[in-house]
Amino acid sequence: MDILISEEFQLLGVQYDEKERDSIDAEIKDLEGRLRNYGIESRLEQASSDISRTMTNICLRLDFETELRKGHFYFDLAKFELVFRLTEDTSMRLSEMGSGANWLATHLGLFLALLRLNSKQDKSTIPAFLMLDQPSQVYFPRAETIFRHEAESDEASIEETPTDENIVQVKNLFRVIMEEVASIGEEAGYTPQVIIMDHADEPEFTDFVRARWTTNGQKLV
């Protein structure tokens, strides 16, 4: 192996220095030993467990297929790899999970779980905010509204009853995000920020809207 490395360096016009390589190898081993003293492996394992539990909890509160609700997520932080385990012996990847609603629930669960993990770290240098672009796109909410008129005195009152299940799911999506932010605040001691940019502007979403960026001169950037 040393001969092959030496020949490759010669082809590149680089002087191969075996002593320098040995010195680098020794430095790597030294650094690996120091890292072990920090208990990195056990901390990664604990973080992976926390993320997995949070993800599963969030997805069960979102529009997640009934057939998958008996399983649970496992996110390996060291490998940055996600699997969904139906049983101890049966697992699937995100590409095998079917509907767009499942994909949305999975991604949102992971993003919020990582936000929680980061927010709890005393010395984290990662900004504690999350930006989401059009999470409602999976549902393309279009409200079909039934107008019911009831005579009261000489005036008619109008009651609007949204019948579109998409509206219900998007409202629940926003509600779960708000609940998670509040929960993270209780655990971390401060409240992180989630910024959602979306085209969904039905009246049912008014309680969740902080600002509207229109064509009258107001811009997000």
Amino acid present at 143 = A
Q: Which helix (H) or strand (E) holds 77?
A: none
pLDDT at 215: 66
pLDDT at 106: 94
Distance of CA 214 to the CA centre of its chain: 28
Least confident of 9-13, 17-21, 102-106, 171-175: 9-13
> What's the pLDDT band for 203 if we cut at 50, 70, 90?
confident
pTM recorded for the entire structure: 0.72
The verdict on residue 33 lying in a domain is no
Mean pLDDT of 33-53: 87
Mean pLDDT of 67-77: 91
pLDDT at 217: 66
The verdict on residue 12 lying in a domain is no
The verdict on residue 174 lying in a domain is yes
> What's the pLDDT band for 20 if we cut at 50, 70, 90?
confident
Q: Domain of 182?
A: 38-208
- Is residue 144's pLDDT more than 60? no
Instruction: Enter the tokens of residue 96.
Output: 């095998």
Query: What's the domain count of the chain?
Result: 1
Distance of CA 35 to the CA centre of its chain: 28
pLDDT at 114: 96
The verdict on residue 169 lying in a domain is yes
Q: Are 181 and 192 in contact (CB under 8 A)?
A: yes
pLDDT at 109: 96
The verdict on residue 92 lying in a domain is yes
The verdict on residue 15 lying in a domain is no
The verdict on residue 48 lying in a domain is yes
Average pLDDT, the chain: 81
For residues 97 and 4, which has the higher predicted lDDT (pLDDT)?
A: 97
- Is residue 6's pLDDT more than 60? no
In 89-128, where do the E strands start and end? 91-92
The verdict on residue 44 lying in a domain is yes
Question: For a pLDDT cut of 90, what percent of the chain falls above it?
Answer: 41
CATH code for the domain of 141: 3.40.50
Q: Are 62 and 68 in contact (CB under 8 A)?
A: no
pLDDT at 21: 82
Q: What is the pLDDT of residues 83-117, one digit of tens each?
A: 999 888 888 888 888 789 999 999 999 999 999 99
Furthest-apart CA atoms within the chain: distance in Å: 99
For residues 45 and 201, which has the higher predicted lDDT (pLDDT)?
A: 45
Half-sphere exposure of residue 42: CA atoms within 13 angstroms, side-chain side:
4
Least confident of 12-16, 30-34, 84-88: 12-16
